[in-house]
Amino acid sequence: MRRAFPAAVAIAAVLAALVIVANTALTGIQLGELKLGPVLGPAADPNFVPGGAPLGQIGSDPDDPSDPWSAAAPPGGVIVQTPGPTAGPNATGSIRIPIPKNVPTGPRRVAIQAGHWKSDEAPDELRRLIPQTGAAWEGVTEVEINLDIAQRVSVILNSKGVAVDVLPVTIPVGYVADAFVALHADSDGVGENSGFKMAHGARRGPYEDALLNDIKDSYGAATGLDYDPIHITNSMRGYFAFNWSRFQHAVAAHTPAVILEMGYVSSDDDRALMLDRADLVANSIADGIMKFLNDTPRSQIFGHDLVVPAFPSRPSKPSSSP
């Protein structure tokens, strides 16, 4: 009996150590200020697809639905969850996107993209954007408006303690921030349309409606411009910076992201607003972003994995055997 007791204690200690090791490997463990792990995490899942690898699913380009493309996993990878045995015949399953490993720490971080800025430096996967230099009207170019307003917004947000990245066309791979806003200005080619418009992508986090509405309300109230929902295009909804399943140079799916077309360069009134009252325009954008940040803590944005609908499966190639 005396010998059996120490042996039982030793076995219990070994089992406890194995539990701690397994937990650390799968989920991590907090030891005071130090967190160990996770070591395995999502990559241990047999359905894990690493970043850049094909998902075996078909995406659709909003500019050309007849030209489908192969959807790929974003940086950090995803877990493809197939429909269960009780699912309906048209079920496509879902994609689980893990919380990014590089969630910002410290001050809130926001990206303001100046549309078309440095398009000539776009990477190969975005080469179609290289010749797209933006709208122009009566000697005024869209890119100069976009960059000017982006820099003004950056200064305002910095003064409120927010870290800001003013980004060109090329987005850092899997970019992560508390919010991302792409600034553009449109043209109808004839000088008739006026107003601003906004959009966000699909298969992303749940906070993009809030970011869009906060900026929309602030911008409309401050500038007096009408909202122009009629001319929101598929290209806006499928904007490349949102499209993590097609481009690696895109914002992470967890990052709330919107595009704002601030007005029409081709409209005399809109153009004058963006040029002559640029501080008002920038302040209205910054106010909307600050409301979103104040209402939406970082722990909420990055608190959970995302589960989004899968794309349609890519048809298997016909067998070459007779």
* Cα R_g (the chain), whole angstroms: 24
Q: Please give the pLDDT value at position 58.
A: 76
**CA-CA-CA-CA torsion for 100, 105, 109, 111, nearest 10 degrees?**
-40
Spatial separation of the C-alpha atoms in residues 107 and 82, rounded to whole Å: 38
Give the CATH number of domain 109-301.
Answer: 3.40.630.40
Ramachandran category for residue 93: left, alpha or beta (phi over 0 → left; psi -120 to 50 → alpha):
left
Q: Please give the pLDDT value at position 174.
A: 95
Spatial separation of the C-alpha atoms in residues 86 and 114, rounded to whole Å: 47
Kindly give the interhelix angle for 142-159 and 278-295, rounded to the nearest 10 degrees.
50
The per-residue DSSP string of 224-240 comes to -PPB-GGG--HHHHT-G
**Higher pLDDT residue, 77 or 91?**
77
Q: Please give the pLDDT value at position 39.
A: 47
**Higher pLDDT residue, 67 or 31?**
67
The residue count for the chain: 322
pLDDT at residue 282 above 80? yes
44 closest CA partner among 77, 13, 68: 77
Q: Please give the pLDDT value at position 8.
A: 54
Spatial separation of the C-alpha atoms in residues 233 and 64, rounded to whole Å: 12
- Domain residue extents for the chain: 4-39, 47-101, 109-301
pLDDT at residue 149 above 60? yes
